[in-house]
Each structure stands twice: as structure tokens, then as C-alpha cells.
Homo-oligomer: A and B are copies of this chain.
Amino acid sequence: MEPENNNKTSISTLGEFGLIEHLTQNIKHVNQSTKMGVGDDAAVLSYNKKETLVTTDLLLEGVHFNLVYTPLKHLGYKSVVVNLSDIYAMNGQPKQITVSLGISSRFHLEDMDELYEGILLACKNYGIDLVGGDTSSSMTGLTISITALGEAEKDKVVYRNNAKTNDLICVSGDLGAAYLGLQLLERERELFDSSTDVKPQLSGYEYIIGRQLKPEARKDIIKNLKENAIMPTSMIDISDGLSSDIMHITKNSACGCQLYSEKIPLVEESIKMAEEFNIDPLTAALNGGEDYELLFTIDIHDFEKIKTMKNVHVIGHITELENGNKLITPDGNSITLKAQGWKHV
């Protein structure tokens, strides 16, 4: 999947403006709030009577993705999804994105088409308008910077700072799979690097690989919460790992938490993969990250409502600040949660 030079079109034949025109020519707007998109100094949006939400993510080759095992289309898709996930985590609806690309001479027009195919597929699936960006040559591989804008009803924005003692802590989907998928892809890449005769052994692990390469944002959970008349007291999406992300909530809300290890959702494939790697699947769930599941707290009176919701698990509750951030194991041990450190590559 590494870009090659066979019969491909040099980007310099189009020039920067030609490239932008080429990549954005089929964009049609679907959101009322999009008045003017690509093609001027700035996009023009109309947000009336609602809050505007804005979030941004920077993805760097070699840090956030490895093109040896990441198809460019998937990369484009994921780059959009990780931003949308942040808007949903505010209880908002994403509406527009801007896309900035730094492109080294290793890449050709067809590579950018593939990347954009993924970007536009995510836009289509989530009803997003691509309204602007910046395109530049790069000396150092591929850089993708995406900003997403969205909207929310004024009194429906869910922050991180409103969790209170006895609130239930809930998480959607399952955790740890994206991290374990990455470990598998990395292992196969290393084997492949050491001998070109080796074929990647990925069969049976399609789910965890898919979680790494092509995650989805939990638009469905936001919809279901609304339909079930549940308003979370706080919410965040899990990008850094359950441990770091619950601590964002407890820190901002000046409280503590108690999680129960046996309640943390793990799928069979994750457990099997973790065993192969000889790591605790719980560690993958706590520190792996990139799950893009929603982690939220609800008032304890909403317990009956949440019980009936699909794909949502109650994994603990909010405590007083003094309690700290704890994980309780089945044998009753209490472990203090830790946040991730700065990882320099």
C-alpha cells in the first residue's frame, strides 16, 4: 500500500490550485448551515440559535499512521472520523470539516485521490460538508490536519466538568481492540521487514484490525441517548484510553471514580490477541486508546433507562474527590488509575 511510481501522475502537472480543484470538484453540500465552502479565503457558515462546536486533529506519518499497512482510503476515512467523534462527545452534530494536507514528492495524484475517497466517504456516511483546507508540499511524508465544526442546542451541550458523586459511568461498544489491532499489524510488518517471504497472518482478527484501520464515531449512541431522554452529565470520547479519559472527566468535575474491571467491555478477539501477546486485555482497554467509543456519566436515576440501551455498559460510578481514581478487581483489590505520558518518537 506504500505509494509507488507506476503510471502515476505527478502532482506538479496540476499545480496547487489544480490539485485542490481536482480533489474538491465533486463536493456537494448537504447541510443548511454551509453557505459557501472551498474556493474563497474562508468558508462561510450560518449557525443560528445554536452553539457552534469546533475541534481539530493533527495526524503525522510515522507517529499516527504507517502507510505500510494503512490503505490511504482508510486513513482518509479515519482522519475524519476521529474529529467527528469529538463533536459527538459534546452531544453535538458535526456539519463541516476543513482538510489540510502536507504531501511529500513520494505521493502522486492517484494516492491523493485514494485518500480523498476515504475522506469523502466519511463525509457521506456522516452527512458532513468539506468546506475548506490548505494543500502544501512537504519534505517529510504525509501530514493531515482536520478541523470539524458542528452544532448543538444551547442547553444540550455536554461538557466534562459536570459529573457528580454517585453518577453512573457508562461506555459504549468495547475497548482495547484498536490497540491490539495495531500491535498485530506492527508484528506482521516487522516479520515482513525481516523476510519478504512472510505473508501477513491476519485472518481471524478482522474485527480488531478494522477497529484500528477504520473506526466509526458513535453517532448512533448520541441518537439513542436522545431517544431515551438521557442527558449525560459529562461525556468524552475515548482516544487516549479509558484510564486517561475518565481522569479528564474526574479532574474537570473535581471528583473521583470507581471502575469495576469485570464490567469493562472486551470482545473475544481482543482477549485472544492479548493472550497471544502475553498482555492483560484490561491493560489494552485502559491504556490502548483509539477506541472512539463514548465515555459518559449519567444521573443514577437514569439507570432503568440506560439498562435497555444497546451497546452501552455501566462500568462504575463517580465518587468524592478524596477517593481518587480507582479500578476494583474481582478479588476486591483497588488499583489507582494512571494517565498516559508524553510519547516521543
Q: Using CB atoms and an 8 Å cutoff, list the residues of chain A in contact with chain B.
A: 11-12, 14-19, 35-36, 39-49, 51-58, 60-64, 85-87, 89-90, 92, 96, 98, 100-102, 105, 131-134, 136-141, 143, 145, 147-150, 152, 154, 157, 159-160, 235-237, 244, 248, 252, 339-345
Task: Kindly provide the distance from the CB of A297 to the nearest chain B CB, expressed in whole angstroms.
Answer: 14
Complex: A45 Cα to B61 Cα, angstroms: 31
Task: Kindly provide the distance from the CB of A155 to the nearest chain B CB, expressed in whole angstroms.
Answer: 12
Task: Kindly provide the distance from the CB of A20 to the nearest chain B CB, expressed in whole angstroms.
Answer: 10
- For A131, give the chain B residue with the smallest CB separation: B54
Complex: A159 Cα to B41 Cα, angstroms: 8
- For A59, give the chain B residue with the smallest CB separation: B136
Complex: A327 Cα to B58 Cα, angstroms: 41
Once the chains bind, are A52 and B46 in contact (CB under 8 Å)?
A: yes
Once the chains bind, are A105 and B42 in contact (CB under 8 Å)?
A: no
16 A-B residue pairs with CB within 8 Å: A11-B344, A16-B341, A16-B342, A39-B160, A41-B87, A41-B237, A42-B92, A42-B150, A47-B52, A48-B49, A56-B98, A56-B100, A60-B102, A137-B345, A139-B140, A140-B140
Complex: A279 Cα to B46 Cα, angstroms: 46
One of B52, B62, B235 near A139 (C-beta < 8 A): B62
Complex: A240 Cα to B136 Cα, angstroms: 12
Chain B positions within 8 Å of A18 at CB level: 342
Once the chains bind, are B140 and A54 in contact (CB under 8 Å)?
A: no
Once the chains bind, are B60 and A43 in contact (CB under 8 Å)?
A: no
